[in-house]
Amino acid sequence: MPNHYYAAISSVTPGFPAARAKIAPGDRLVSINGRRVSDILDYRFLSADEELLLELHTPSGGIKLVQLYNPDCLPLGLEFAEPLLDTQRSCANSCVFCFIDQNPKGMRGTIYYKDDDTRLSFLQGNYVTLTNLTKSDIDRIIEYRISPLNVSVHTMNPDLRKTMLRGKNAGTSVAFIKRLAENGIRLNCQLVLCPGMNDGAELERTLSELCGMIPNVASVSIVPVGLTKHREGLYPLRLFTPDEAKAVVRTVARFREAACEKCGDNVFAASDEFLRLAGISFEELGGEQYYDGYPQLENGVGMFSLFAEEFFAAKKRRKAPAASEKCVILTGRASYEFILYLLKSAGADFEKVRVIPVKNNFFGETVTVSGLLSGGDFRAALRETDYSAHTHGQILIPQNAVRRGEDVFLDDLTVGDLENEFSTKIKLVSTGDELYRAIQGRI
């Protein structure tokens, strides 16, 4: 039977079919048309029909049967106490490159949770390994047409995948990837490369197999392993050298050409960090067409290119000097030269605009992206600059450094904490357009 706690209905939207059928908060959904509802995927698939028979358990323990006629297949209007109607599935692996294992101690508990839930891959875009699924789970994905899915592949060599993911099903689940693609499930794939493990000939093998699954392999991002200073007792890994990065970029480029010939899309893309390591200039970065609409921005693929497009589009629209207001732009070391390139290209007045590359003390100097800077890192950079609002003007900080929808940094400092300390307002910037307007003093 489904877990009745998680199947509890928390609210019913007025005007929708469930409300008209007198389904009430507190009822627990058990089955639809005789098929048990075990989670949100069952609910969404089974409720997408014109004629429905719902079995519910009432708060008093009774059983209620509700018939619905829903000719337009509208959403029923049910909200549940738990969005998945079931417990969230955590990761069953111990990947040699896992970033969560490299977090410092003492952070909030949610930072350490390892999600590996295929349902969240479909609903929210999370990347999953498929290693905690069974054959029946795969059958259900195919039956329900749960597509697209975002899959952390890393390698198509079953033995190597088992070595890298260190989970009992890591090798056998390679067959799941193939079966999903064979049955028309669209896959966005991620490869985290570790030098000497899944690069070189192994990368060739993986890209070749994924190329054979096009068009159902829709996109593949290739990103370098990220290493923090908190690696005591963990698997020995190192960072890529520039020459190794160049070799990766060349390999990816060959498969991009093969994919384009096969389906008209590029499919394969090295991350911005790989391109930066390989010495690819900012002028050489491709645009939206090169990245096929930026399907893997969250994996750091095309972020520089999209940001530049937005910045220069804003400059073209506004036809104004690039800077008329004083400001300090704080950014990660990986994007420091990129921000300078944008400002120089726009003719910024560097007497007014100052760009500061922020050192990552929280995770260590090997972590250079803006999204992993802590509030303490920004505070240290401002103190070293001897910042004052009168002298330096507005402070600009990347939006991706704070928790989504909030103003809290990784170390639980808030934007407000920094504003209070430095007696100024801080602007969080997420797009190139926002950066351009901010340095003009327009936002």
Question: 97 forms bridges with which residues in the sheet?
Answer: none
Number of CB atoms found within 10 A of residue 233's CB: 5
359 touches 377 (CB < 8 A): yes
d(CA 391, CA 351): 11
What residue type is assigned to position 313 of the chain? A
pLDDT for res 7: 83
Question: 330 forms bridges with which residues in the sheet?
Answer: 356
Question: 28 forms bridges with which residues in the sheet?
Answer: 8, 57
d(CA 310, CA 435): 9
In sequence order, what are the residues at sequence separation of 6 or more whose Cβ sits closer than 8 angstroms to the Cβ of residue 30? Answer: 1, 2, 4, 7, 36, 37, 55, 56, 57
What residue type is assigned to position 306 of the chain? L
Tokens for 72, please give them: 């337009």
pLDDT for res 160: 98
DSSP collapsed to 3 states, 173-197: CHHHHHHHHHCCCCEEEEEEECCCC
d(CA 240, CA 278): 10
Report the sign of the C-alpha dihedral through residues 379, 385, 390, 392, in that order: negative
DSSP collapsed to 3 states, 229-240: CCCCCCCCCCCC
Q: How many helical (H) and strand (E) elements, i.e. helices and strands, does the chain have?
A: 15, 15
d(CA 276, CA 305): 12
pLDDT for res 324: 60
Phi–psi pair at 83, nearest 5 degrees: -55, -35
Q: Report the interhelical angle of 333-345 vs 432-439 (nearest 10°).
A: 60
Q: Tell me the C-alpha to C-alpha distance, in Å, between residue 246 and each of 199, 242, 280.
A: 12, 6, 9
- C-alpha 125 chain-centroid distance: 7
400 touches 430 (CB < 8 A): yes
In sequence order, what are the residues at sequence separation of 6 or more whose Cβ sits closer than 8 angstroms to the Cβ of residue 246? Answer: 278, 279
Q: Tell me the C-alpha to C-alpha distance, in Å, between residue 290 and each of 150, 156, 225, 272, 332.
A: 20, 25, 24, 13, 25
For each of the chain's 443 residues, which pLDDT tens digit applies?
444 445 899 999 999 999 999 999 999 999 999 999 988 889 999 998 999 999 999 999 899 999 999 888 889 999 998 888 888 887 888 999 999 999 988 777 777 778 887 787 777 788 999 999 999 999 999 999 999 999 999 999 999 999 999 998 999 999 999 999 999 999 999 999 999 999 999 999 999 999 999 999 999 999 999 999 999 999 999 999 999 999 999 999 999 999 999 998 999 999 999 999 999 988 887 777 788 889 999 899 999 999 999 999 998 887 655 556 789 999 999 999 999 999 999 888 888 899 999 999 999 999 999 999 999 999 999 999 999 888 888 899 999 999 988 999 999 999 999 999 999 999 999 999 999 988 886 55
Q: Tell me the C-alpha to C-alpha distance, in Å, between residue 115 and each of 88, 130, 432, 442.
A: 8, 11, 31, 40
